[in-house]
Structure 1
């Protein structure tokens, strides 16, 4: 992962998040770095479903599994599914219930804006 600086405002952090407030800037920075380094594209498949196309490297898969497992523990409304459509690609599907579509909207906007920073 690269070491360029990305702002970590927490405007998209949902109220339902149980991550301690002091830890949120670190998690946001991790997501920003992940978006910048690993995401190659994103598609909004429905209001409640977002798909990230990721770099297919093994370390990206490991980072995605670690980050999504930790995020699921504090924001249990997220459903993350990581898959390999083929040997060279990796997809991360993110789903939320209808009550949290605004959080998925904000996550998609954040990922798109971070990707444009590069």
Structure 2
């Protein structure tokens, strides 16, 4: 993903992403659905670090691992760390380098918005 933006509601997706442009809206929809279904809280710990508090269901963990693995393969600047923070809760840490803080801003905004729509 680079700093140039693609269409409409995907402004947080930079062009340096190796995911084909035609597939980006589908990935955004996957993230939005995941955020609606799983995010219980959003903490912005620093400009480079976002913490998402997730529901602890096994399906949520499986989806998070799959989605973050696929995202890491096309946007290698993301660092994702998923951990169980309790029997019924997961924590997803998301970190980016300084050059991609704007991408993390967009991700945080989408996560908070989707959570609020629940």
When the two structures are superposed, what TM-score results if normalisation uses the length of structure 2? 0.89
Specify the alignment match of 1:17 in structure 2: 17
Specify the alignment match of 2:80 in structure 1: 80
Specify the alignment match of 1:55 in structure 2: 55
Specify the alignment match of 2:102 in structure 1: 102
**What secondary structure sits across from 2:102 in the alignment?**
helix
RMSD: 1.2
When the two structures are superposed, what TM-score results if normalisation uses the length of structure 1? 0.89
CA deviation vs aligned residue, 1:26-84 (integer Å, no higher than 9, x gap): 10100000000000001011110000000000000000000000000000000000001
Unaligned runs of 5+ in 2: 1-7
Structure 1 position 114 matched with structure 2 position 114: yes
Unaligned runs of 5+ in 1: 1-7
**What secondary structure sits across from 2:25 in the alignment?**
helix
Structure 1 residue ranges, 4+ long, deviating more than 3 angstroms after superposition: none
Q: Number of aligned pairs?
A: 111
